[in-house]
Each structure stands twice: as C-alpha cells, then as structure tokens.
Structure 1
Amino acid sequence: MNGKTPSDSLARGKQIKLKRGDLLVFSANMIHRGLYGNNRFAFDLIFCDDHPHFRSFINPNNHPNAAEKQQLNHTDLFL
C-alpha cells in the first residue's frame, strides 16, 4: 500500500539477529516478517491463540515425537 513493498523496512520494526541453532518464539498474532536469504538457518515455530478456527491447521505429524519431547522443557506447548 502507498507504494510500499513487502521487503521494505518497517518504520518501527525491531530486527533480531539470530545465529544457527537459536530459537525465537513470538506470537503470530503480532505484525511480523522474516528476513530470508543469506544462508538463513532457522527453524520456524508459529504460536497463535487457541481458537477453534486455527486448530484445523494443526498437523500432529509436525509435532515432536516422544524421544524429542524428552529433550524439551515445555512439552505442554504441543498438547
């Protein structure tokens, strides 16, 4: 809109630099945009409000398996 493109910098945005292996958890309900390219090594997790409409997009095959869950501190996120 107004001559802007999706790749333009956000006026009040905050850029968070991540290194390989880092994990950034944030609400998908906020305005956000990833900066892709440049050998980006990221694993994206999307969290949003627990609303029945959103549940239809949940694929349990994308959740950690039992062995992986043993290595996590907050397995309640995947209930």
Structure 2
Amino acid sequence: MKSSKLSFAVSVGITAVVCLLISVVSFAYVELDGEKYLVFGARQPAPNIDPSVHYDWSTRTIQEALYDALLTYE
C-alpha cells in the first residue's frame, strides 16, 4: 500500500517537472547602454499586447511578463 502511494507521488512529481521543462517559456531583461529591455521568448506569437483587447493564452502570458516586469524591476 505504501509502495503504491510512493510510486504515485514520484510519478506526479516527475510529470510536474517534465511539464515545467517542456513549456519553453523564458523571461529575462537585459541592460544595454544603461537602458533595460524586457526579453520574452515563447513558442506562439502574440497578436496583441493591449490588455483592453480580447486575448488568448499566449497574449496573456506575455502581458503577465510585461506588466509584472514594469512593476517589479527598477
């Protein structure tokens, strides 16, 4: 009984790690000549980053990265 619970927990953990590694979304910022640039990479292009326009998942991810970065970075 304990063995099956342990193997289930391990499989769930491994699945979670694999899902995180597969997502291939990266966030960063670079500083060039004293100016900071937000760098965002993803598999899908985002058609629009205006928050007042209807959006899909890729647009929401980019908006989240953009607006969170504006509030948290210097």
* TM-score between the two structures when normalised by the length of structure 2: 0.21
Q: Which of the pair has more CA radius of gyration?
A: 2
Larger RCO, structure (CA 8 Å, separation 6 or more): 1
More strand by share: 2
* TM-score between the two structures when normalised by the length of structure 1: 0.20
